[in-house]
Amino acid sequence: MISRALTRLVLMTALLVHATSGRAAEILDDAIAHEKAAVADQCKAAVYGEHFATVVDFNNDGLDDVITNLGAVNCDGVDGKLCGNVGCPHNFYVGVAEGGYVFIANADLYGYELKKRYGNLVFEMKANAASCGRDDDEYCIITSRVRGLRFDTISKK
Confidence at residue 140, expressed as pLDDT on a 0 to 100 scale: 94
More confident residue, 105 or 23: 105
Q: Is pLDDT at 52 greater than 60 in this prediction?
A: yes
Residue (of 157, 111, 152, 108) closest to 134 by Cα position: 157
Q: Is pLDDT at 13 greater than 60 in this prediction?
A: no
Q: Which amino acid is at 151?
A: F
Angle at 127 between CA 7 and CA 44, to 5 degrees: 125
Look at phi and psi of residue 148 and say left if phi exceeds 0, alpha if psi is from -120 to 50, else beta.
left
pLDDT digits (tens, 9 = 90+) for 112-137: 999 999 888 999 999 999 998 999 98
Handedness of CA 39, 17, 63, 29 (dihedral sign): negative
More confident residue, 2 or 54: 54
Residue (of 9, 28, 92, 105) closest to 54 by Cα position: 92
**102/82 Cα distance (integer angstroms):** 22
Report, as an integer, the average pLDDT of 48-74. 97
25 band by pLDDT with thresholds 50, 70 and 90: confident
HEC assignment per residue over the chain: CCCHHHHHHHHHHHCCCCCCCCCCCCEECCHHHHHHHHHHCCCCCEEECCCCEEEECCCCCCCCEEEEEHHHEEECCEECCCCECCEEEEEEEEECCCCCEEEEEEEEECEEEEEEECCEEEEEEEECHHHHCCCCCCCEEEEEEEECCEEEEEEEC
Q: Is pLDDT at 20 greater than 70 in this prediction?
A: no
Q: Is pLDDT at 21 greater than 90 in this prediction?
A: no
Q: Is pLDDT at 19 greater than 90 in this prediction?
A: no
